[in-house]
Structure 1
Amino acid sequence: MIESSWVKRYAEQFEACKLVSTETAVVLSETRSRPEIVQTARLALSQCGVAPVDVVVTTPPNPGPVPIRSTGASVALAANQAALGALTNADFIVDCTVEGLLHAPELGQILASGARVLMVSNEHPENTERWPHDPSLADRVATGVGLLEQAKMMRVESDAGTDLTVDLFGAVRAGSHGWCTEPGTIAHWPGGLVLAFPAAATVNGTVVLAPGDVNLTFKEYIREPVALTVADDYITDIEGVGVDAELFRSYLGAFEEPEAYAVSHVGWGMNTSARWEAMALWDKADHNGTELRAFAGNFLYSTGANEVAGRFCRGHFDLPMRGCTVSLDGRLVVVGGDLVAELLPS
C-alpha cells in the first residue's frame, strides 16, 4: 500500500526541484529497486502534472565475495546505450536505483546532457515523513561550501584521538541541500552535506571511530574504538580489538582492491532535521542511512570511489562521526560535534 503522505512528500521535493509539467521526467529503477519507492515516485510525478517515463534496467548479479550496500556507485546502467539515450534526453531524473548514481561511471555523461538528478535513497518511504522541506538549508549549505572553497587545508580533531589533515589543493568542493534546480546537477535526499573530494595523495593522519559513531555500510553504531592510520589517502593500519575492527578489516580486505582503502570524500553535516538516533528504530532492510550522513555537526569520512583522484571501486564505507572539531585554515566550522553559529538556522 502506498500512503498518500509519502506521495505528498515526494511531490513537495520534486516541486522544490522546480519541476514543471512541460518537462520530461524519467523514473530510473532496476529490477531490485524497492517497489514502493518507484511507485511513490511515479504517483508524485503525476501529482505534479508530469507523465513519468519509466526506465528499468536489470540488476546485475553481485560477483561477491561480500554483499554491497550504500555505495552511491550503481553499476546497474552498465553503459546501456538505450537507457542512457533516455536519460540524456530527460530534463529531470528520479534515481531509484539501489545504490544510487552519485559515483556511477555514467553520471558525467548524464549531467553533461543538462539533466538534473534527484537520488531517492533505497529506504522505506515512511522515512520521508520526518524530513520537512527546509528552504534555509540551501543557503546554509552554500555558506559552508563557500568557506570550503576559500580554504587550503581542512583539519579534523577529536577527544577520541582523531587528527586528520586534508590538503584541499585540487579538491572538488560541493554541497547537497537535497534538491536540484540547475541543469546538470545531482542531489541526494535528504540533503545537508558540505563535502570535499580530495585530489590524490592529500589526506594524512589518524581517524578514530568512537562508540556511537556510525558505519553506514553495516548500518551499525560503533561499539568499540577503531583507529585508522591514513597515509597519502590510504588506510595503512586498522587498530582495534573488538568485532567492529575485525569486520572493518575483513570487509575491505574481501574486495582485494587497494582503492577500497583510500579516501572517497570528507565533509560535515548541516541538516538540523536529520537524526543520529534514527537508525536504531529501523530494520536494516528499511533504512539506508542517508539521514545519518547529513545530521548536523557530524564529520563524514568515507572510503572508496573518488572520481577526482581517478579511483573507482566496489568497496566503500561511509562513517559519520560525532564529537569532532573541523577547521578550515584554522577557522572553526564544527566544534565538538556542533555547528558554529553562522551555519545554523537563524
Structure 2
Amino acid sequence: MLQERIEGRWLDCFRRVFVLNAIGNGTRVAILSETQSRPVLVHLSELALHDLGAEFCMIQMPTPRQTAPVPVKSTGTSWAIQGNRAVIEALKLCEVIVDCTVEGLIHAPEWPEIEAAGRTRLLVVTNEHPEILERTEPTAELGPKVALGVQMLREAREMRVTSPAGTDLVIDLRNAPCGGTPGFGTTPGAVAHWPGGLCLAFPGKNCVNGRIVMDVGDMNLTFKTTLTSRIDFTVEDDFVTAIKGDGVDAIHFREYMEAWNDRNAYGMSHVGWGMHPRARWVSAAMYDKRDMQAVEFRALAGSFLWSTGANQYAGRYTLGHFDLPMRNCTITLDGNVVVKDGLLQGELAS
C-alpha cells in the first residue's frame, strides 16, 4: 500500500492545478469534505490554497449511513451534504468548491441549486492516491481538444460504435446534452474533475439500440476490475435487456443489477470517449483498490465509455450505476471516424 503523506511534489502539483482553475489571491473557495474523505487530499488542498492566497474555508460533513442493497462505489453522486441548508447557502457564496468528498458532487442532488446561483464552479479532486493525481495532472493543452470533441458530439445526429468482439451500437444524438472536461474550468457553473479528459453525450428517451460486447481487458469501474471474460449486452430503447456470459464478470454484473430491483438501473446514462494522453489501462494492475477511485480509466484516450444508471435528461433516476470503458472500439459520428480501433483520429489525436 502506498503511503499517504504530504510530499513537496504533490503540493506543487495541487498549486499548478488550482492556478489552471483560475484560483489565486483573494479567490473565495470552500474545501468540501466528509469524514471518510482521504485526509491527504484535504490537507494538500488546504496548503495549496494558503500558498496561493485564496480566501478559503473548510466544510466537513459526516459521511451518510449506507442504505443501498449493495455496496455503492465510484458513482459521482455524493450524498455528503444531505440537504443541509447552511452548507448549500455557504457554497452558493463561493467562487470555487474544491470537492474532496468520496464520490464527488457532479451528480449530487444539491449541485443544480448551487450551480443555478450563478457564482460557483466545481473542481472535484477525485478520491485517488496523490501519485495517480500527479501522473494525470491536467494541462492547458488538453482544453481545446476536449472542446473540439464536445462540439463534434453536439453537431452530430448519430453515433455508431463497433468492435472486433461484436459490438454494434447506434445512438441517436439529436437534442442530446453534451459535455466534457479537460480537468479544469474557469467560469461560473463550470464542472471539472481531476483526472479529466473526456467527451460525453446523455442520450434522450428511446435513443440507444444494439449490442455491446465487453471483451477481456475492458473495465468495470464500479467493481474496479479488469474483465477476464466476455459480457454480451443487448440494448433496446435505452435499456439493457440481456446480459450474457458464463464468466465471473457477467455473473457479478447480473447479480449487482438484480439487487437494485429497479428497471432504471438498466438504463443508459451516457456515452462518449476518453482524451487523456497519460491515462493508462495498465495502471489498474499497479494499485490497490483503496488507492483509486478509477476516474483515470474514464478518461483513457481512445476508449469508448458507456454508463448505466441515472440520466436526468431522459427522466430516469436511480442509485445503481456502472461506468464501463472499452478498448479497441471504432466510434463514428454521422459516418465520420473519430476513434478507430481504440485510437483517436484527426484533430483529436494531433
State the TM-score bracket (shorter-chain normalisation).
Answer: over 0.9
> Residue type matched to 1:329 in 2?
D
User: Do 1:26 and 1:87's aligned partners in 2 also have CA atoms closer than 8 Å?
Assistant: yes
User: Do 2:138 and 2:182's aligned partners in 1 also have CA atoms closer than 8 Å?
Assistant: no
Q: Give the corresponding residue for 1:5.
A: 9
User: Do 1:156 and 1:162's aligned partners in 2 also have CA atoms closer than 8 Å?
Assistant: yes
User: Do 1:153 and 1:328's aligned partners in 2 also have CA atoms closer than 8 Å?
Assistant: yes
Determine helix, strand or coil for the equivalent of 1:245: helix
Determine helix, strand or coil for the equivalent of 1:75: coil
- How many residue pairs are counted as aligned between the two chains? 345
Aligned equivalents of 2:51, 2:263: Cα separation in 1: 46
Q: Does 1:128 align with 2:104?
A: no
Aligned equivalents of 2:85, 2:316: Cα separation in 1: 23
What's the CA shift for 1:312?
A: 2.1
Q: Does 1:184 align with 2:184?
A: no
Q: Does 1:58 align with 2:62?
A: yes
User: Do 1:57 and 1:83's aligned partners in 2 also have CA atoms closer than 8 Å?
Assistant: no
Aligned equivalents of 1:180, 1:192: Cα separation in 2: 12
Q: TM-score, normalised by structure 2?
A: 0.96
Q: Give the corresponding residue for 2:35.
A: 31
What's the CA shift for 1:44?
A: 1.2
User: Do 1:172 and 1:196's aligned partners in 2 also have CA atoms closer than 8 Å?
Assistant: yes
Q: Does 1:204 align with 2:204?
A: no
Q: Give the corresponding residue for 1:306.
A: 311
Q: TM-score, normalised by structure 1?
A: 0.97
User: Do 1:154 and 1:327's aligned partners in 2 also have CA atoms closer than 8 Å?
Assistant: yes
Fraction of identical pairs, as percent? 48
Q: Give the corresponding residue for 2:72.
A: 68
Tell me the alpha carbon deviations over residues 64-109 of structure 1, each in whole angstroms, 9 at most, x when there is no partner. 3211100001111121101101111100111111111111111111
Q: Give the corresponding residue for 2:224.
A: 219
Tell me the alpha carbon deviations over residues 89-142 of structure 1, each in whole angstroms, 9 at most, x when there is no partner. 100111111111111111111111220100111111121221244221101111
Aligned equivalents of 1:259, 1:74: Cα separation in 2: 19
Which of 250, 256, 265 pairs up with 1:251? 256
What's the CA shift for 1:56?
A: 1.2
Which of 55, 59, 83 pairs up with 2:87? 83
Which of 303, 316, 319 pairs up with 2:321? 316
What's the CA shift for 1:198?
A: 1.0
Aligned equivalents of 2:33, 2:239: Cα separation in 1: 33
> Residue type matched to 1:52 in 2?
F
Gaps of 5+ in 1: none
What's the CA shift for 1:51?
A: 3.6
Aligned equivalents of 2:174, 2:138: Cα separation in 1: 34
User: Do 1:103 and 1:306's aligned partners in 2 also have CA atoms closer than 8 Å?
Assistant: no
User: Do 1:193 and 1:293's aligned partners in 2 also have CA atoms closer than 8 Å?
Assistant: yes
Tell me the alpha carbon deviations over residues 161-220 of structure 1, each in whole angstroms, 9 at most, x when there is no partner. 111111112210111100011111111111110000111221111111100000011111
What's the CA shift for 1:4?
A: 1.6
Aligned equivalents of 1:204, 1:225: Cα separation in 2: 19
Gaps of 5+ in 2: none
Q: Does 1:111 align with 2:115?
A: yes
Which of 309, 334, 340 pairs up with 1:335? 340
Determine helix, strand or coil for the equivalent of 1:52: strand
